[in-house]
Chain A
Amino acid sequence: MAQQTSRNQQEEIFPGKPVKSLGEKNPNIERSHTRGTVFKWIAIGAAGIAVVVLAVLLIDIFSDGTVRLSKDFLTEYPSRHPEEAGIKSAIYGSIWVMVFTVLFSLPLGVATAFYLEEFAPKNKITETININIANLAAVPSIVYGILGLALFVRFFALGRSVLAGALTMGLLILPIIIIASREAIRGVPSSIREASMGLGATKWQTVRHHILPQAFPGILTGTILALSRAVGETAPLIMIGALTFVPFVPGNIETFSDIIADPLALITFAPMDGFTVLPIQIFNWVSRPQAAFHVAAAGAIVVLLIILLSMNALAIFLRYRFEKKGSQTR
């Protein structure tokens, strides 16, 4: 809303067309107007290039990959024969890693965000945490891979498992979740805090009953976006040794009846099993010289992009929905 008004003001500062001079034309002014128009079109062109490339990329990949989209592609394991290869193990692996990543990084990220926004005193430790988080957000993802390899795979002896991958991914998206959650918490009006504290609630009661529910949609949106980053990450999982050829799904749990038959396997065998994820499967297929594998890679990319776009759409939908609801109650 505030942006809108400042925009409108700006329209006033700069009338759309240069004012026509009544007398003789001044060549200097003419020239500077021409320069301005040229610059404007260069700027439009720059923004346009990004859009054109996006369009080319999407059209290119969809036209390469959609031929492979079929039920078999989604339900078959990878194979030496590109025409028969599918992405079943990659999809299962991605889902497993994502679930454990959320379980780990969401509570930790939200707790940190609440600490920094609501509890932290202004001192050196707080400032260190702040700088540190900004810094962690800019560490290259492959360095997280090295961390995961040394810490989770070897030191904690988790091996090349789903759990090791999820913990590595959890650390990778932790700064993103913290930053998004802080923003959501900051968006809660302070009048709510004051009212709650004024009625005698403790700090934690205020956070638990008032700020968390209000900030929740924002936190949720941020988490979904952070997860969509994790779904596409490849390098750290290659580092921790996610396998490139995986003809099984974690824990061999394929259907709901498998879960009912042995529910414990969900938390015992499966997290410790080897795995692959969609981006690694794509990388593996792209790296092969045969064109048929490139087509399979394009097919997997289409699936990956559809997953990512639906996650983004969900985030936007949630934001929109809660915003609307929020304005009604206010």
Chain B
Amino acid sequence: MNFSTYIVPLFVLFIILYGFKKKVPIYDSFLVGAKNGLVTIFKIAPAVIAMVFATNLFLNSHFLEFVFSYFNPVLEALNIPVSVLPMAMVRPISGTASLAIMSNIFDLYGPDSFVGRLASNLQGCTDTTIYVLALYFGSIKVTKTKHALSAGLFADAIGIIAAFLITFIFFG
């Protein structure tokens, strides 16, 4: 399982050795790249600050909890713990927020419960669409994003539905 812990170090070592063998001025190359990295951080800073501000404002207003409080009776009847739906909703918006909800679910119900497995699959099924869009397009100053958002959210919705169904089929 700890296979992936070896990947990064070996990858880095391989790149540096390969560069050295190909007679690339590795140290100078690194400095050029690192400088570009600093420039990148500088470029994405406005988009990151803008997006984190708005997401935090939205999540901390507890609007989602309010909306979902209406679904509670339905969810309880179906034996689905209330916290799973907000997690599904938050997943495309904030990775840290959905991770926090997942830890909370693990804590309350255990990772091997049905909900625990469902939460694990929800976390794995998609990425933070809105954040990635804002970051990637923000870094190159593209404002007209065509159908990127609708496609991303469509994929998220399908992924979330799939995570529910697949957990039911495999562990239900």
Do A and B associate with each other? no
